[in-house]
Amino acid sequence: PVENHSELYLELETKKSYLYGEPVVLETKLKTSSNRSTQVVSNLHADYGFVTIGIKKPSGEIVIYEPLAERCTAPAYAVLNAENPSIYESSYIGFGKDGFIFDQSGNYQIKAVYYHEDGSRIVSDTISLRVKSPVTAKDDEIGEIMMQEEVGYLLAFRGSDASYLQKGNDALGQLIDKYKESMMSVYAQYVTGVNAQRSFKMITTDKKITMRDPNYKLGDALLIDVIEKSKGKGGLDNISLNQAMQTLALSYQREGNKKAAEERVKDIVNHFNKQPIKEHVKERIRRESATLLSKE
């Protein structure tokens, strides 16, 4: 039995169908049906633990998404009211503690619950998605590349230089080089690009710390390609695209290219102003963009 004493409701959204091996991203939206202001925990990403996601697989098995590593954080808060009626987040839920979740072709059902501070459990409706079977030998090969365990780790962590994941990085490199025109290569470019534009620390066997400096040239080139592809049909969802655009702007700022960073921030605002999304969402993107470069 679940009791909801609030005026909140939870909506889930994802694509209706995915290719075999394609990363499954779930959008969670917390909304209010009241004009009164209600304070809510805004950490809606599935890795924070304030939202639990259940998945029914084609076989009938029901699993709970459990992240590889739960993010520990103090709750962040938002106020929902008539001016700001919803908040949202995008979570990659394709790979967790028990490996790949969407590893079978067929129909899946997804349901989620959000834990409100007054003790209410805000339960979503059930949504469905379908994982398509590979049609061609090319589809099958790309799917097998994306379903390697090491690739799952890289997708969950948005890249890594860890030596035990080198096989996964090699697989993503193969996807980028051999199947660059495939829509699936966007995910490989995104993960590799995000990882390239940040530093990576390693501890040697003699307990010394070494650091790999950012490869801005590689990271920027990959992210630019990801952004341009995702502005068209296919590619990243809107929330992930916004994150990729912010990442690129911050990358330019770290390089010392202030002009390019500012141009990328303008691009974020201009792109999403043209999209068929709610006005309060556009306003939130404008506010975030206005302070983006002052965060570092």
Contacts of 9 (CB under 8 A, 6+ apart): 30, 31, 32, 33, 122, 124
pLDDT tens track, the chain, 296 positions: 566 767 899 999 999 999 999 999 999 999 999 999 999 999 999 999 999 999 999 999 999 999 998 888 889 999 999 999 999 999 999 999 999 999 999 999 999 999 988 888 899 999 999 999 999 999 999 999 999 999 999 999 999 999 999 999 999 999 999 998 898 999 999 999 999 999 999 998 899 999 999 999 999 999 999 999 999 887 899 999 999 999 999 999 999 999 999 999 999 999 999 999 989 999 999 999 999 999 66
Tell me, what's the pLDDT at 90? 94
Entry pTM = 0.92
